[in-house]
Amino acid sequence: MNRFFALVPCAGVGRRAGGDLPKQYAPLLRRPMAAYTLDALCGVERLQAVLVVLAPQDRHFEALLPGFAAERRWLAACGGDSRAASVANGLLELQRRGAADDDWVLVHDAARCLLRSEWVERLIDACAGDAVGGLLALPLADTLKSARDGRSAMTLDRAGKWLAQTPQMFRLGLLRAALAAAGAGATDEASAVEALGHAPLLVRGEMENFKLTWPADFDVAARLLRTRGASKGTAT
């Protein structure tokens, strides 16, 4: 039977979020943001392991999330200069640790820290029997505008348009080949797989699974986490 692995690229700096620390370590209700992400993934029992890809010079993870590394919780300081490079290096690390080309890899943004384990299970259920794989996504609900010089130039048809989220789930061999062909310009795993001529499955996600990018996003996330009673967790 094919196995499932999670891969979390955690090597970026997140300049748009501001602050003195890389975004994934920014405090959120007194915990590093990445701790909530890892709580959700580690709560998925079907995952063989969760691999966190760190920058080679990272000195924050071990200090802020002490004791994370364990039997199903792996760390690798093999991050690259781009998200795509970090994921590609992470795939090689998974292979080194015994993952096969036919095993599934779920790549998830550390900055989507409001993830719930049941959403990961939903993605696995939908994609495990699929020939390609897929991703969590949301149908576009708002009116979509094209801008020019800071002004609205055109209203675009939103029919059939979705907002990509993560995790994005593909077989290791396919994803490795797709990223090698796409190079550093791939903005997500699905776009690289699409470039090879495949059509990933769109699995409906949740609005809460947004990516924290700007300083104000942290306030929104904190309010949502308080409604969950999630100021304490298990990842640290």
pLDDT at 38: 98
For the entire predicted model, the pTM comes to: 0.92
CA distance 111 to 234: 18
How do residues 66-94 score in pLDDT, each as one tens digit?
A: 999 999 999 999 999 999 999 999 999 99
| Structural tokens at position 138 | 């949301």
pLDDT at 235: 47
Name residue 1's beta-bridge partners: none
The one-letter amino acid code at 89 reads N
CA distance 105 to 134: 11
The domains located in the chain, with CATH, are 4-228 (3.90.550.10)
C-alpha triplet 158, 163, 167: angle, nearest 5°: 160
Q: How confident is the model at residue 16 (pLDDT cuts 50, 70, 90)?
A: very low
pLDDT at 232 over 60: no
How far from the centroid of its chain's Cα atoms is residue 96's Cα? 21
CA-to-CA separations, 54 to 49, 103, 140, in angstroms, rounded: 16, 22, 32
How do residues 149-181 score in pLDDT, each as one tens digit?
A: 999 999 999 899 999 999 999 999 999 999 999
Three-class secondary structure of residue 166 per DSSP: strand
78: nearest Cα among 97, 57, 62: 57
Q: How confident is the model at residue 120 (pLDDT cuts 50, 70, 90)?
A: very high
